[in-house]
Amino acid sequence: QSVLTQPPSVSAAPGQKVTISCSGSSSNIGNNYVSWYQQLPGTAPKLLIYDNNKRPSGIPDRFSGSKSGTSATLGITGLQTGDEADYYCGTWDGSLNAVVFGGGTKLTVL
Amino acid sequence: QVQLVQSGSELKKPGASVKVSCKASGYTFTNYAMNWVRQAPGQGLEWMGWINTNTGNPTYAQGFTGRFVFSLDISVSTAYLQISSLKAEDTAVYYCARDGPGGIGPPFYWGQGTLVTVSS
């Protein structure tokens, strides 16, 4: 059971927009920055978003992040088949003194 | 550019030990902490802990004390994960992952992962 809660799967058609939620508590998301990762099949996770809404160099602006209270959201616009992957949220948990991750969301681009 | 290159896949018998290496390049090794993350087959990401690359002081997450050891060789900018008394449930991909500029928290850069398979 992950500390952060994500939907197991989401799907949308190419060109459409999808959002992935990540729910936590005041000890983690509520008081710390959230990061988002993309994990393509058979590869290592890749940072998409950090500090709630910042994109590392090279990440297209189709990817966006937001946070409100104890929840965070990853948005992906202009979906491409190459976006099919597992997406994870992560943050620091001050009560556990640990980095915590969501259980992951599998994105299918129909 | 930042690179973390890990050692290759390992096949070990139960009860054996394994040591995974993670060689860093493209930045000053001692400026950023190194995390270790486990991903069991078909499962999500699990943070194992981190090591302070300045002091060598490791911090282990709950569930990763006793058989797991983080270490460093600063002279070659390399972090190590050693697992002893291997069990079948240790079968997983192990990632090293470097902190970002904000300090300890969700990692920025990831190694390519090392698959450790424990089987008789």
Q: What is the mean pLDDT of residues A12-18?
A: 97
The DSSP letter of residue A65 is E
Residues in B lying within 8 Å of A, measured between beta carbons? 35, 44-47, 49-50, 59, 61-62, 95, 97, 100, 102, 104-113
Q: Which residue has the tokens 């943070």?
A: B47
Burial environment of residue B49 by CB neighbours within 10 A (0 to 12, 13 to 18, 19 or more): buried
**Nearest residue of A to residue B36, measured between CA atoms:** A99
Q: What is the mean pLDDT of residues B96-119?
A: 93
The reported pLDDT for the residue numbered A39 is 98
Residue-wise pLDDT tens digits, A5-14: 999 999 999 9
B70 contacts A58 by C-beta, under 8 angstroms: no
The reported pLDDT for the residue numbered A1 is 83
Helix count (H) and strand count (E) of chain A?
Answer: 0, 9
Confidence of residue B62 (pLDDT cuts 50, 70, 90): very high
The reported pLDDT for the residue numbered B77 is 98
Confidence of residue A32 (pLDDT cuts 50, 70, 90): very high
Q: Compute CA A110 distance to the chain's CA centroid, rounded to the nearest angstrom.
A: 20
The count of other CB atoms within 10 Å of the CB of residue B73 is 12
Q: What is the mean pLDDT of residues A19-27?
A: 97
Judged by DSSP in three states, B66 sits in: coil
Confidence of residue B104 (pLDDT cuts 50, 70, 90): confident
Residue-wise pLDDT tens digits, B69-100: 999 999 999 999 999 999 999 999 999 999 98
Q: Average pLDDT, whole number, for chain A?
A: 97
The reported pLDDT for the residue numbered B5 is 98
**Nearest residue of B to residue A52, measured between CA atoms:** B106
* Contacts (Cβ under 8 Å, ≥6 apart) of B71: B51, B56, B58, B79, B80, B82
The reported pLDDT for the residue numbered B105 is 85
Q: Average pLDDT, whole number, for chain B?
A: 96
Cβ contact (<8 Å) for B44 and A99? no
Residue-wise pLDDT tens digits, A33-71: 999 999 999 999 999 999 999 999 999 999 999 999 999
Residue-wise pLDDT tens digits, B32-55: 999 999 999 999 999 999 999 999
Interface of A with B in 2-61 (CB under 8 A): 2, 32-35, 37, 43-47, 50-51, 56
